[in-house]
Structure 1
């Protein structure tokens, strides 16, 4: 079938072998060659920092309502988004996040001390995924009995997403919702004896003049958990890999742990743990010299924008003194990540324990890490040796 005359022609193929073999390097090329690029798979992709900032600051033109499925509050625009966002921000109150540090420390100590020293380990499955699952369950008040089921779910979800198996993805989504429904039913049945945690408190929340309904609570918990499991896993792998490849920085951070917060943000700027997010145009727009019609899919390429030479100079130069306002690691604008402070705490504490409990973090000789492919980031396999 010949395309309609006004149908955009593909500028690139995000699923090609050249792209998937090293996404970050491929996006660097696209940012220079075709910074606003069309593909059948992703629609219009924005690669430059300034273009992402424009889209993030203009929610009236670049809408977050990209699906017919309920997504609270990620898939909403103001004014509907506003009340949900205010409700969610209360659960990431700085005092609550600070109070979580001792639990986070215990989890980190136990996981790192359980890793064998002096032999090859696979860091993604033995540390990164386990940390993501345990830390999320702890913050939400979910039982330890969910750790192994959620680890299996993470792996099944990853496999189905890579294969673009829509039937499997639908079944896996229902499986995850089943975990949440069971947790909510147990709390409803317990009444006043239910645990005092975030999950229980959502049952008591109101939006406007009514309680949150069941579907809204499930959507909130799904968005928190699914996003957190993937990005925290990616973050741990990226940080461990970078420290292994830069032993001088690794040792400096052991000696000067106060540098860790800025160092972590800078490492994750260079290799973004979240590749992209979606938007939808509500009206015709011109951006980066391209005319885009209303109703078009937009893909915000975080992993490219945070490496834009026009903003950061050499994107691979580690600098802990950069202006944090330029780093889009946790987003920007109305939809900036409400859990940014929590994620920073979790990653800082885990890296502190990795550095405290080791003398050296190294890649396993002769075994190349396996780079994760879209939509994931980081590494799918990371053979390492800790001593």
Structure 2
């Protein structure tokens, strides 16, 4: 009879909740593969995370009881679905989306107050993530408010740890997608030529995708996108407000913006972790894990590993981008990485072009998000918009 090991740490302790990233930095040095009741095995070091990513024979992505296409799949099944979705994020499609992306970013910046305080997360970042995702998917503006409310309920259910509530919220999102599919079927040839319609016409192994497969693909694209893009916007704008010299440099030289964005999000991760499960007994980081052991890969730690990056808080534009695990690595690297990079570059460009100054509100410090979210749940800034 196997017994769970004694916990090495408590991810829900106040010390961790106060500053997740600082806590992960401590764990990386003290106990690089650590057990807890909440997260099972957590992997903190860059080298160990890379090993898990590359050894999909020993570390499986099939961690959920529910289908997750394709990121919850392993080869060979994963391969065909991955080949199906990659063209949706082809460079030419990403470039073609830039004008619509810029229009949304411009509109939101122009709606900011001309001067004074702004609560950036609720008043800007989440709106940007919501509108940008709906635009990319070809969804109507009428879905903005239902999705906004759904996102709030999803966050509340996730933080509560209530599995029944989480399942109910997931079913509600699935209903949104099924309604969109039904409308496109009823429209026939008059259906809009967008991502959702194109998924209806896809085939895998000689057959059409099932509704369950389409719902899973769209859920994976959308649920992660809404949270991660909003978190990224908050992290980026906070960093620029806290580092006025860099803000000034970027206002004068936008060419370094893509590298700067990736580096800021390496320092402060928008996505904290992903899960895996062992298919056989393995040893990693000096610990023995049995088959069926559940792991959390802590991106927010691996991307700050001193063995790879030196001082993890040092902002440097000359780092090897191959070391940055912001979008993962290996066969499961994020297929939408270039789309996300475009969206974040455009929104920061528009903020810098249409404002004179972005500053912290010292009397209202930011409220950090709680696991599994990264970034901030509330962020007060003073933004002076150009007249």
TM range (shorter): over 0.9
Higher mean C-alpha deviation, range 8-17 or range 304-313:
8-17
2:351 corresponds in structure 1 to: 354
1:213 corresponds in structure 2 to: 210
Name the SS of the counterpart of 1:106 in structure 2. Answer: helix
Q: Does 2:177 align with 1:180?
A: yes
- Between the aligned partners of 2:116 and 2:4, the Cα distance in structure 1 is 55
Question: How far off is 1:117 after superposition?
Answer: 2.7
2:4 corresponds in structure 1 to: 7
- Between the aligned partners of 1:112 and 1:309, the Cα distance in structure 2 is 37
Instruction: Note the alpha carbon deviations across 1:283-331, whole angstroms, 9 max, x for none.
Output: 1111111111111001100000000000000000000111000000000
**Runs of 5+ consecutive residues of structure 1 not aligned to the other structure:** none
Instruction: Note the alpha carbon deviations across 1:116-164, whole angstroms, 9 max, x for none.
Output: 1321111001111000000000001000111111111111111111111
- Between the aligned partners of 1:357 and 1:94, the Cα distance in structure 2 is 27
Instruction: Note the alpha carbon deviations across 1:183-225, whole angstroms, 9 max, x for none.
Output: 1100000010000011100000000111101100000001100
* Residue in structure 1 matching 2:33, options 24, 32, 36: 36
Q: Does 2:256 align with 1:259?
A: yes
The CA RMSD measured in Å over matched residues stands at 0.8
2:112 corresponds in structure 1 to: 115
Question: How far off is 1:365 after superposition?
Answer: 2.9
- Between the aligned partners of 2:383 and 2:310, the Cα distance in structure 1 is 33
Q: How many residues align?
A: 384
Instruction: Note the alpha carbon deviations across 1:27-61, whole angstroms, 9 max, x for none.
Output: 00000000000011111100000000000000000
Instruction: Note the alpha carbon deviations across 1:91-127, whole angstroms, 9 max, x for none.
Output: 1111011000000000000001101132111100111
1:377 corresponds in structure 2 to: 374
**Runs of 5+ consecutive residues of structure 2 not aligned to the other structure:** none
Cα separation, partners in 2 of 1:5 and 1:296, compared to 1, 3 Å: closer
- Between the aligned partners of 2:340 and 2:308, the Cα distance in structure 1 is 25
Question: How far off is 1:5 after superposition?
Answer: 6.5
Q: Runs of 4+ in structure 1 displaced over 6 angstroms?
A: none
* Residue in structure 2 matching 1:143, options 134, 140, 145: 140
TM-score by length of 1: 0.98
- Between the aligned partners of 1:121 and 1:67, the Cα distance in structure 2 is 39
Taking the TM superposition and a 5 Å limit, the aligned residue runs for 1:233-244 are 233-244=230-241
Instruction: Note the alpha carbon deviations across 1:69-103, whole angstroms, 9 max, x for none.
Output: 11000110000000000001011111011000000
- Between the aligned partners of 2:131 and 2:250, the Cα distance in structure 1 is 25
Name the SS of the counterpart of 2:212 in structure 1. Answer: helix
Question: How far off is 1:167 after superposition?
Answer: 2.1
Taking the TM superposition and a 5 Å limit, the aligned residue runs for 1:289-368 are 289-368=286-365
TM-score by length of 2: 0.98
- Between the aligned partners of 2:64 and 2:157, the Cα distance in structure 1 is 20
